[in-house]
Amino acid sequence: MDTWRPPVQGICLPRSASGPARTGLSPSLTAQARGGGDQRAAAPAQAPPPRARDVTVPRHARVDVPVAFRKEAQRLTMANAAEQWVLVEMVQALYEEKEELIEEWQPEPLVPPVSKDHPALNYNIVSGPPSHNIVVNGKECINFASFNFLGLLDNPRVKAAALASLKKYGVGTCGPRGFYGTFDVHLDLEDRLAKFMKTEEAIIYSYGFATIASAIPAYSKRGDIVFVDRAACFAIQKGLQASRSDIKIFKHNDMADLERLLKEQEIEDQKNPRKARVTRRFIVVEGIYMNTGTICPLPELVKLKYKYKARIFLEESLSFGVLGEHGRGVTEHYGINIDDIDLISANMENALASVGGFCCGRSFVIDHQRLSGQGYCFSASLPPLLAAAAIEALNIMEENPGIFAVLKEKCRKIHKALQGISGLRVMGESFSPAFHLHLEESTGSREKDVKLLQEIVNQCMNRSIALTQARYLDKEEKCLPPPSIRVVVTVEQTEDELERAAATIKEVAQAVLL
């Protein structure tokens, strides 16, 4: 006999692969709920089953959830709520902390604080041309500060050539060389420079600093290796920085230290020959170093170049128009074939008394700069009047080769006269037209050293001798040179003026330092 069961067709159960285990119902009850009941107890009426929301399950047929399950569910619910509340509190705390930090934050100054007595903010105002006699702050002095080595800055012939060019071409060019900025006078100057230096080709820049700073990254790229002297000038440093090459610094004019670095690199190259084949090596030096006044040992550098298969870049801003029988620079001074040097650069702002710079060398080397020299490609070209002035200055140099011997002799005289100054020592070659006076003993503070030297400069100025300190960007220099007074010699200075300047510097130095 069949046992009566309550109708369960309308019970709404959750759909699950493990229905009986999750609902707590027996398999038979689950089957009845899903299938409409036992086949043997099927109702005679074939009416469609009612919807779940329309069915009322008798009280005695409801399935009770175990008490332990309900307690566990409540515990989990409370734990989740507690965790959520902790999370909310953490977010709120972080938000409040962020708001406090924002309120307390103060932006860093765009530039570091600079004292009002900084030399860069206190100009020496020049009235008139900075030639032999210079008027500084209304006081006439003998000029021992400007790089007018050959005295061409106020030369009548140079000024006449510049004036004629001004009337013909106007003031500027308003365009780079590749965009209607190439004038016939530019080509004339490049041709004259190449012939004067006895090279195949030359290229001119409109800014002296940008010349070597553009030339280096035009050739040396990431992955290449540059061996550079520790005393290299700031323009070279900026060129190296722009090249993103691997920089190896050797001690100033120390060829043994340079060869040590070259040997170390040779050993590294043997470990990876494939990389070594595509890695270029450069040696970058100056003819006469701006920061020291010393000359580079070029013959030894050329030997190392061929021994270790490197290229030499020679910066001659202080040696061009100064060294050599005809003023061709350090190559002529040593009697070295200029073809042994891969690239020579110099500015036209010293001996030529103009503006801008030039590079010279083999044609295929120079032509590359016309495509890759940033200062050449993107700067407005050199004003024609300055190019014309440089051409006339070259004419004067070629017509008067004895001028270089005169300059060298005057350099030797003042260099000798300045020896033995109490508290100061002379740094630089005896034939260098620009050399330095360093403190024999530092105070231990760079700021105090600078003030002492500036006091010497000021007192010399009061006695009509115009000097200047060598200026550096302290935080930018790779190897910051010590403070110094720079003395510049020109052919215009007379023997009496040289003696007077040396005597004045000695007297002032003794008064300030002793």
User: 188 or 104: which carries more pLDDT confidence?
Assistant: 188
pLDDT for residue 328 is more than 70: yes
| Confidence label for 11 from pLDDT (cuts 50, 70 and 90) | very low
| Confidence label for 110 from pLDDT (cuts 50, 70 and 90) | confident
Alpha carbon 151 to chain centroid, angstroms: 34
Instruction: Tell me the chain's radius of gyration from C-alpha atoms.
Output: 42
**467 Cβ contact list (under 8 Å, min separation 6):** 144, 145, 456, 457, 460, 461, 485, 486, 487, 505
Separate counts of helices (H) and strands (E) for the chain: 17, 15
pLDDT digits 0-9 by tens, 391-412: 999 999 999 999 999 999 999 9
The token pair at 173 is: 């060019």
| Confidence label for 116 from pLDDT (cuts 50, 70 and 90) | confident
Task: Return the C-alpha torsion angle 383, 386, 388, 391, nearest 10.
Answer: -130
- Which of 25-34, 146-155, 418-427, 467-476 is least confident? 25-34
| Confidence label for 6 from pLDDT (cuts 50, 70 and 90) | very low
| pLDDT score at 394 | 97
Q: What is the pTM of this model?
A: 0.79
For residues 494-511, give the mean pLDDT.
94
318 within 8 A of 434, measured Cβ to Cβ: yes
Mean pLDDT, the chain, rounded, equals 86
Q: How many CB atoms lie within 10 A of CB 485?
A: 23
**Helix axes of 384-399 and 156-169: crossing angle, nearest 10 degrees:** 150
For residues 231-239, give the mean pLDDT.
96
User: 71 or 144: which carries more pLDDT confidence?
Assistant: 144
51 within 8 A of 10, measured Cβ to Cβ: yes
Q: How many CB atoms lie within 10 A of CB 232?
A: 23
Give the strands of the sheet with 281-286, arranged side by side: 201-205, 357-361, 343-347, 311-315, 281-286, 225-229, 246-250
CA distance 433 to 415: 9
- Which of 48-52, 146-150, 444-448 is least confident? 48-52
- Domains annotated on the chain, with CATH: 122-151+411-494 (3.90.1150.10), 156-399 (3.40.640.10)
